Amino acid sequence: MNREKHFHPLAALHLLRKTLLVYLLPLVQVLFDRNWDALHAALRQELVLLFFISAVCWAVYYASRWQVDAEGTVHVSWRLGVRLDRALRAEGLAALVLEQPLLYRLTGACRVVLYPVGQTKTITLYLTRQQAAALADVLLPVTEPLWHAPKGGEKLAFTVLGANGLSTLILWWLAIHQTQSYAPDAQTAALAQLGQLAALAARWLPLGMAWLLVLAGTLFCISLVRSALQAVHYTVWRTDTQLGSRGGFIRRYEMRLRLSQLNYADLRRSPATWALHYCPVFVSAGACRPELPLFVWREGTPLLRELLPEMAQLPPDTRADTTDRSMIFFLPAGIPLALCLLLTAVSRTTLPALTLPLLIPTGVFAALLGAAAVGWHREGVWQQQGQLLLCRQHRFHLHQLCVFHPDTGFTALQSPWAVTVQRANLTLVFPGKEKVTVRSVPLAALDFLGI
């Protein structure tokens, strides 16, 4: 890997994709004017422009190089008139992600995203599958890993997600299969089936709200299918220097995080997790904040200690000190809830048809108000055995954080009212400019900051 190499040809296609607006914007005015002669002329001009920009993108791809030297430093050079170079040492890497969507798999390509330590600007490389695997093994080698694959209750949870998604797809297939033969295409058949579902829901809801309910349910089932596909072949591992996971069926991915650069571990609690006794565990390293959990932890099992660093702890399962705590917790949900209740009360006499639809946002904001009450009682900061622990409420999730990174910045913000009651909002700034805020914390709990 010491010699310079070309990127995968998909790198040129990626550059070309960024220029789509150059072609589309000039056509908008012509289409609105319905001037077909001008449209033909604009299309010819856009075709010439497309060929020119494609040639430029191909020239950038052909002139650009990447290599890994003997010390394990990645060098990336983009050349076209002006040469832009970037270098990243293996020690300066916080995390890397390998992504293979369906198009990439068909062409043998892989997208490699490198997250430098303390930076938000990533390095993205489009390589062949073999080159990407070799580069990952050079930068973050996997040696003597401790493997874990979902099984038992974890696998059952993934199976339930897959079953819900598959049952939705089966219903859609039956709807298309049973549609009259005069339907012009599957899209029309699917819309007809949605119309039947909306008509069924319209027995209890107005037609517009019924369509909204059916659309929300459909999108929810699609998200379940996506989550189930991402959980296929999922495994997570830990070595002496890193954490990692891989999985996916259509869109394959692999993530490797350097243990010394972990910002925190985040256990996200919700009513569903308390009912199932399973909790997703998210981690962050540098600017890498994955949307998928690293693993799902069953409460009471040693998996949390095995995969996370030895110093990992959980915040105490106790209520925080709420003496003179600010009412700001209830404002984001309380104000819209009061407005919805007022509109519902007014609609009872003026527009009774809107009363039932208004109950839906009212119920949502009431649930958010209940979640805010949980945050009122649980948000706080603790320091145990030199480990910083946090609890913070965000929407319906209670985030329990265990901070790992030693280079974490702190900001304590006080309003004039907070000064009198000796409280402050504590904001933690991690490498990669990620921020986490805990609201209305007693100053007595911040002795480790010297306040």
Polymer length in residues for the chain: 451
3-class secondary structure, 216: helix
Instruction: Give the pLDDT confidence of 410-422 residue by residue, as tens digits.
Output: 999 998 888 999 9
- Count of the separate structural domains present in the chain: 4
The CA distance from 51 to 426, in Å, is: 54
Structural domain includes residue 165 = yes
Domain match, 141 and 20 both: no
Say if residue 73 is in the same domain as residue 109: no
Query: What is residue 426's three-state secondary structure?
Result: strand
Nearest-Å Rg of the Cα atoms of the chain is 27
Write a three-state SS string for 312-323. Answer: CCCCCCCCCCCC
Report residue 293 CA to chain centroid gap.
9
- % the chain with pLDDT above 90: 36
* Residues ≥6 apart with Cβ < 8 Å to 58: 12
Are residues 101 and 249 part of one domain? yes
Q: Write down which residue in 88, 109, 131 finishes a domain.
A: 88
pLDDT for residue 184:
41
6 and 62 share one domain: yes
Q: Over pLDDT 70: what percentage of the chain?
A: 79
Supply 5's token pair: 């190499």
Q: Are residues 237 and 225 in the same domain?
A: no
DSSP letter at 42?
A: H
Q: 196 and 49: one domain? A: no
Q: Does residue 251 lie within any of the structural domains? A: yes
Instruction: Tell me the DSSP string of 71-89.
Output: TS-EEEEEEESEEEEEEE-
pLDDT of 270 higher than 60 = yes
Band of residue 216 on the pLDDT scale cut at 50, 70, 90: low
Q: Residue 443: which domain range?
A: 313-451
Asked if 304 and 297 touch (Cβ cutoff 8 Å), the reply is: yes
User: How far, in Å, CA of 390 to CA of 201, rounded?
Assistant: 43
3-state secondary structure of 306: helix
pLDDT computed for residue 157 by the predictor? 53
Which pLDDT belongs to residue 425?
93
87: how many CB neighbours lie within 10 A of its CB? 12
How does pLDDT run across 324-379, given as a tens digit for each residue? 898 889 999 999 999 999 999 998 888 887 787 788 889 999 999 999 999 999 99
Q: Evaluate whether residue 308 is within a structural domain.
A: no
**Are 332 and 451 part of one and the same domain?**
yes
- Residue 191 pLDDT exceeds 60: no
Structure letter (DSSP) for residue 354: G
Clarify whether residues 5 and 77 are in a common domain: yes
Residue 426 has pLDDT above 90, yes or no: yes
* 240 shares its domain with 226: no
- The pLDDT value given to residue 207: 47
In a domain, 307, yes or no: no
Would you say residue 304 lies in a domain?
no
Please provide the average confidence, as pLDDT, over all residues in the chain: 81
388, HSE (Cβ side, Cα atoms, 13 Å): 20
Tokens representing 108 are 């043998």
Q: What is the mean pLDDT of residues 278-294?
A: 88
What separation, in Å, do the N-terminal and C-terminal C-alpha atoms of the chain show?
52
Residue 30 lies in a domain: yes
State the DSSP string of 96-131. Answer: EEEEE-HHHHHHTEEEEEEEETT-S--EEEEEEHHH
- Give the confidence band of 220 by pLDDT, cuts at 50, 70, 90: low
Q: Which of 39, 70, 88 is the last residue of a domain?
A: 88
Based on the fold, state whether residues 17 and 69 are members of the same structural domain.
yes
Most distant pair of Cα atoms in the chain: their distance: 79
pLDDT for residue 98:
96
Q: What pLDDT shows up at residue 152? A: 59
Is residue 298 included in any domain, yes or no? no
- Which residues are CB-contacts of 14 (< 8 A; sequence separation ≥ 6)? 126
What pTM does this model have? 0.81
Q: How far apart are CA 182 and CA 390, in angstroms?
A: 60
Which residue reads 């409460």 in tokens?
299
Residues 129 and 254 in one domain: yes
Give every CB contact of residue 389 below 8 A, 6+ residues apart in sequence. 313, 314, 315, 316, 381, 382, 383, 400, 401, 402, 403
Burial of 234 (0-12, 13-18, 19+ CB in 10 A): buried
Looking at the structure, do residues 318 and 181 belong to the same domain, yes or no?
Answer: no
- Asked, for residue 281, whether it belongs to a domain, the answer is yes
38: buried, middle or exposed (CB in 10 Å: 19+, 13-18, 0-12)? middle
pLDDT score for 162 = 42
